[in-house]
Chains A and B, each alone.
Chain A
Amino acid sequence: MAAVGKTLRSLLGEALGIIADHDFPDQWPTMCQELVSKINTSDMAVTNGILEASSAAFKKFDGAFDNGAQRCRPWPLHTHALFALADSMRYPLAAALADFQEPLVQLLELLTQEIGAAHQDKAALMPRFTVSTPAPSSFAYSHTLSLGRRYRMLRASSTA
């Protein structure tokens, strides 16, 4: 997937996001490790593909738990049970995504050094900026499960 053209890669990234939405983490617990294993600074196109795909995949989870009670409103479940369900799902996801965050920061730190060293070399700079571009989105959405004021507010309200 990571080695195909940009348009097809974008579509495959969306497909990965849909699969992740259903299967990650329960049915596909190694997704983050598998994505990280493909990151390779000597092949910028592949790394770019991984970051675009992971960004699309992680984006599916943004807000998924913050709005859990709202989305499940027709269900005859007590609100506390919904928060407990979100609690049980959120932390396995956060733990899995932590596997992704550290290598991604290392990649960005390495690219920063290489960009600094190649300041006068346009041919070396261009692919490094291209591969860096999807990284912030990928990183930010991987954080959406491990941080969250709204989540703490939900917990506080559920235990009040």
Chain B
Amino acid sequence: MGRWAGVFHSFMSYSNGLLEDPEETMVAGPVENLQTQIMACLALYGEKYDEQFEEQLPQFVEDSVRLRGQPLLTCASPHTPLITVEVAFSSQLRISG
């Protein structure tokens, strides 16, 4: 599990101004689309496989907290999907904890 977790974490940590458009209000960018998919998978793992996932969990909790701190990430579209899966992931942490 360590290898895929490393790859996912590197994507979750990725940021590049070239791929971001602060003026865009309708469509999520490519980095955010990928991060949404990763976060959805983390929520799935947290729900079903929390014991196997335990070792990798701390790095993704950091990613989750960092996402919440991003000023661009508001409740407005196009950020809704990422916020939704992040909340799902966080709720699994509370249940597991």
Interface residues of A (CB under 8 A from B): 105, 108-109, 112, 115, 119-120, 122, 125-126, 129-130, 132-137, 139-140, 143-144, 147-150
B30 within 8 A of A: yes
Interface string of B11-22 (1 = CB under 8 A from A): 100101011000
Which one of B8, B34, B51 lies within 8 Å of A129 (CB-CB)?
A: B34
Tell whether, in the assembled complex, residue A136 and residue B49 are in contact, meaning their CB atoms are under 8 Å apart. Answer: no
B66 within 8 A of A: no
User: What residues of chain B lie closer than 8 Å to A120, measured between beta carbons?
Assistant: 18
Which one of B8, B37, B40, B48 lies within 8 Å of A149 (CB-CB)?
A: B48
Which one of A132, A135, A148 lies within 8 Å of B49 (CB-CB)?
A: A148
Name the prevailing secondary structure of the B interface residues.
Answer: helix
Q: Which of B71-85 contact A (CB under 8 A)?
A: none
B94 within 8 A of A: no
Residue tally, chain B, CB below 8 Å to A: 25
Interface string of B36-55 (1 = CB under 8 A from A): 01101100110011111000
Interface residues of B (CB under 8 A from A): 3-4, 7-8, 10-11, 14, 16, 18-19, 30-31, 33-34, 37-38, 40-41, 44-45, 48-52
